[in-house]
Amino acid sequence: MTMAIPIPAPSVSVFNADYSHLTQVDYRAAVSMLVRKVAYALELHDPPRVLRSPSFSIELPRSLMLTDYVHIPYRRLADHASRAEILDRDRRMCQFVGCGARATTIDHLLPRCRGGGNTWDNLVASCADCNGRKGDRTPAEAGMRLIREPFRPASV
């Protein structure tokens, strides 16, 4: 007895009207886009793969091009944190031990001049006095300790 090996459904690349890659969709979504005329076939399979029904047949594409340009909003990098996000994460409290003041600035633990970035684990909330006292040094070099290590919130 021979068993039929299921053939995985081909995925179809979808390109915006400016030729920028948008996504991958399954063949059902690709056929739907072709029938609704929101996209046209950009590249076909060789040899052709044809989807047939009693009243309709269509050649499956390898890639589709949208007929109209779709604007994609800017996506910020998930690892980068804004000033407001850092202040909210640290509850607007200076993160240096012994201070307890209200934080009005953010401080880079590894200074930007040494390659430190605007990432969740390199930024802490700080008061202006502690930020100025630390300067372009690491907390260890400045003899300062943190209340808690910076972290990336689960909600981001």
Record the pTM: 0.53
pLDDT band for position 61 (50/70/90)? Answer: very high
pLDDT at 26 over 50: yes
Per-residue b or e along 79-91, where b marks 16 or more CB atoms closer than 10 Å to that residue's CB = eebeeebbbebbe
Summarised one tens digit per residue, pLDDT across range 74-93 is 766 667 888 999 999 999 99
Backbone dihedral angles phi then psi of residue 146, each to the nearest 5 degrees: -95, 150
Q: Which residues, other chains included, contact 136 with Cβ-Cβ below 8 Å and sequence gap of 6+? A: 111, 113, 114
Considering 66, 97, 113, which residue would you say is the last residue of a domain? 66
Residues 62 and 95 in one domain: no
Structural domain including 60 reads 11-66
* Domain containing residue 103: CATH number: 1.10.30.50
